[in-house]
Amino acid sequence: MRLLVTGGCGFIGANFLYAMRQRHPDWLLVNLDKLTYAGNPGSLRALENEAGDRYVFAHGDICDRKCVTAILNDHKINAVVNFAAESHVDRSIDDPSPFVVTNVLGAQNILDCARRAKVGRVVHVSTDEVYGSLGPTGQFHESTPLAPNSPYSASKAGADLLARACHETYGQDIVVTRCSNNYGPFQFPEKLIPLMYAKATKGESLPVYGDGQNVRDWIFVDDHCRGVELALLKGRAGAVYNFGGASEMKNIDVVRTILRLTGQDENLIRFVADRPGHDKRYAMNFDLAAKELGFAPSVSFAQGMERTIAWYQANSVWLDEVQSGAYLTFMDRWYKERT
Ligand code: NAD
Ligand code: DAU
């Protein structure tokens, strides 16, 4: 396999590249990443050192037709996994524009270039947030109508519909995956779990939105990566697959777990103004992925959190390095406005 992975310097992309290198050492892995504030080439240093000519990094934008086409042709790519995106809901509330550019136009460019270059398969990585919000019961199925509530999820839903249209119109080989909340190594500390870890270890207050009762279905990142790999290797062209962790947790309980694992006091918890349009609950039904792909999450929330906290403890330099520049500018303003 000669695989193009986009957004490989981000959280899930980096974990995916390491997993593919380990399980398929003969594959060529090409990583196209724009290196936005969320892209960190340092996350892939070990892969770069170890993989030799089986790993190539290309600095570029998925919106750039010339760049994407050249990569597909020069490396004779036969499959693409598109992770590249603007991924943080709060930033999309602050400014939706870059989300529409990368998540809609960039995704469309990837689909278009792949079709013209006759690439075999595109796996488009999407999210459970395209379904909107659940009440206290029920689950999202692949047939649940799309009802995105944030600019981020609307942009992801737009790309999902383009992927569907390309399959229907051109017969293009595209598989869409929708996963619930990931956590694990290399996650950028603007997202709940690494943010709360970073704040707890500095003894800073932990900003919980609203009443902390919102529920997310947490999945350890390795399990998501396995799902994407299965979709790439075994997915049905034109299919959509849900992945979830079967691990529903209230935000406040996630925060308490982090405080317990870091030995910090619950007095650090501070309830702040809610996220506008905050989805109440996500829960994924992944029966289809279980049946057609053999997908099942293998890491419990307790195991995954222990591994995650241990990783952040052992990688404090990585964490310090990413908490600078553009990161601080947004975070300072965002949280000042909420407290
Ligand atoms: P991330 O923000 O950590 O990483 C995104 C990466 O994409 C970064 O390396 C960034 O530099 C790169 N990028 C951004 N714009 C680009 C562009 N125009 N061209 C090339 N590269 C660009 O994101 P993540 O959390 O790793 O999410 C990866 C994908 O998985 C996204 O598509 C996201 O929607 C999806 N997803 C994430 C989760 C989650 O819990 N994090 C869950 C389900 C789906
Ligand atoms: O569900 C999949 C999605 O999960 C992905 O598509 C997104 O890319 C990813 O960012 C994530 O979105 P969420 O909005 O669910 O994740 P986040 O970590 O931002 O927030 C998780 C929950 O924690 C959410 O209910 C909001 C809450 N929260 C978050 C932050 C950053 C807080 O209470 N305080 C905070 O400071």
Q: Is the pLDDT of residue 255 over 90?
A: yes
The count of domains in the chain is 1
Tens digits of residue pLDDT in 201-233: 999 999 999 999 999 999 999 999 999 999 999
Q: How far is CA 182 from CA 11, 85, 165, 244, in A?
A: 9, 15, 27, 9
Question: Is 321 labeled as catalytic in the residue annotation?
Answer: no
With respect to residue 320, please indicate whether it lies within any of the assigned structural domains: no
With respect to residue 294, please indicate whether it lies within any of the assigned structural domains: yes
Phi, psi (rounded to 5 degrees) for 291:
-70, -45
Q: Is the pLDDT of residue 326 over 80?
A: no
With respect to residue 202, please indicate whether it lies within any of the assigned structural domains: no
Out of 33, 86, 129, 190, pick the active-site residue: 129
| Pocket flag, ligand 1, residue 12 (CB < 6 Å) | yes
How far is the C-alpha of 137 from the C-alpha of 126, rounded, in Å? 23
DSSP state of 274: P
Out of 55, 152, 282, 312, pick the active-site residue: 152
Overall average pLDDT of the 52-76 stretch? 98
Looking from the CA of residue 192, the nearest atom of ligand 2 is 18
With respect to residue 237, please indicate whether it lies within any of the assigned structural domains: yes
Question: Is 129 labeled as catalytic in the residue annotation?
Answer: yes
With respect to residue 203, please indicate whether it lies within any of the assigned structural domains: no
**Span from the CA of 102 to the centroid of ligand 1 (angstroms):** 10
Are residues 147 and 132 in contact, defined by beta-carbon separation less than 8 angstroms?
yes
Overall average pLDDT of the 268-292 stretch? 98
With respect to residue 312, please indicate whether it lies within any of the assigned structural domains: no
Q: Kindly give the pairing relationship between strand 79-82 and strand 121-127.
A: parallel
CB contact set of 161 (below 8 Å; sequence gap of 6+):
146
With respect to residue 49, please indicate whether it lies within any of the assigned structural domains: yes
**Span from the CA of 32 to the centroid of ligand 1 (angstroms):** 12
Kindly identify the ligand whose nearest atom is closest to the C-alpha of 93: 2
Q: Is the pLDDT of residue 324 over 90?
A: no
Question: Which among 5, 32, 36 is the best mutation to test ligand 1's pocket, defined by most ligand atoms within 8 Å of the CB?
Answer: 36
Domain that holds residue 134: 2-187+220-247+282-304
pLDDT at position 252 is 98
CB contact set of 112 (below 8 Å; sequence gap of 6+):
65, 166
Q: Is the CA virtual torsion 69, 156, 339, 216 positive or negative?
A: negative
Give me the CATH number covering residue 289.
3.40.50.720
Are residues 29 and 78 in contact, defined by beta-carbon separation less than 8 angstroms?
no
Tens digits of residue pLDDT in 109-153: 999 999 999 999 999 999 999 999 999 999 999 999 999 999 999
How far is the C-alpha of 99 from the C-alpha of 117, rounded, in Å? 26
Q: Where are the alpha helices (DSSP H) in the chain?
A: 11-23, 45-51, 65-74, 89-94, 97-99, 107-116, 151-170, 192-201, 221-234, 251-262, 287-293, 301-314, 316-322, 326-338
Looking from the CA of residue 179, the nearest atom of ligand 1 is 43
Question: Is 279 labeled as catalytic in the residue annotation?
Answer: no
With respect to residue 261, please indicate whether it lies within any of the assigned structural domains: no
**Span from the CA of 192 to the centroid of ligand 2 (angstroms):** 6
Out of 61, 86, 128, 190, pick the active-site residue: 128
316 CB neighbour count, 10 Å cutoff: 11
